[in-house]
Structure formats: structure tokens, C-alpha cells
Amino acid sequence: MIIVIVSVVASIGSMGWLGVPVTVASATLPTLMVAIASAYGIHQMNHYLLDPAKDKFEILERNIGVIGLAIVLSGVTVIVGFGSLAV
């Protein structure tokens, strides 16, 4: 959650620093960022908590192998989708 908060603050701060005006679309940016990033974290934590193994690092390594690619591809899909909307 800390990463999400830092990302939102950095993006809004960058918009102010670059002189990007606040529009209806840019006003929804923090909400979208929190919703999307939280979904990826919830997905990862669900697999982490349901794993019967006891070693935390073993669970994380297995999760990265099992769902890591799916989370990355989902993120790339969101980036491409928002990029197409921006164009």
C-alpha cells in the first residue's frame, strides 16, 4: 500500500511540476491507480496466504513463478489500454 500511495503522490506531483492542468480525466487518476494496484496486491496475497508451505521465501518464489507472469501481463494490458484511451 505504501508503494501505491507514493505512486499517486509522485504522479500528481509530477503533473503539478510539469504544468499539466487538472481535468476530469486526470482527477480520476488517483482512484484508478489505487484500484488497479490494490487488485494486483490482493491477487498476490491471496496466493501467498493459501499456500500450505511454512517457509515465506519459498512461498514468494513459487508465487512469482506461478502468477508473476499473469500479473505482469495484466499490468501491460492496462498500460496499453490506457495508452490507447489517451491517444
pLDDT at residue 44, as a whole number? 84
pTM: 0.60
Residue 61: domain span: 2-86
Cell 510539469 belongs to residue: 18
pLDDT at residue 62, as a whole number? 86
Sign of CA dihedral 60, 6, 69, 67: positive
φ, ψ (nearest 5 deg) of residue 2: -65, -40
Reported as a single tens digit per residue, the pLDDT across 30-73 is: 888 888 878 888 888 888 888 888 888 888 888 888 888 888 88
pLDDT at 86 over 80: no
Is the distance from CB of 22 to CB of 11 less than 8 angstroms?
no
Angle CA 78–43–57, to nearest 5: 120
pLDDT at residue 17, as a whole number? 93
Q: How many domains does the chain have?
A: 1
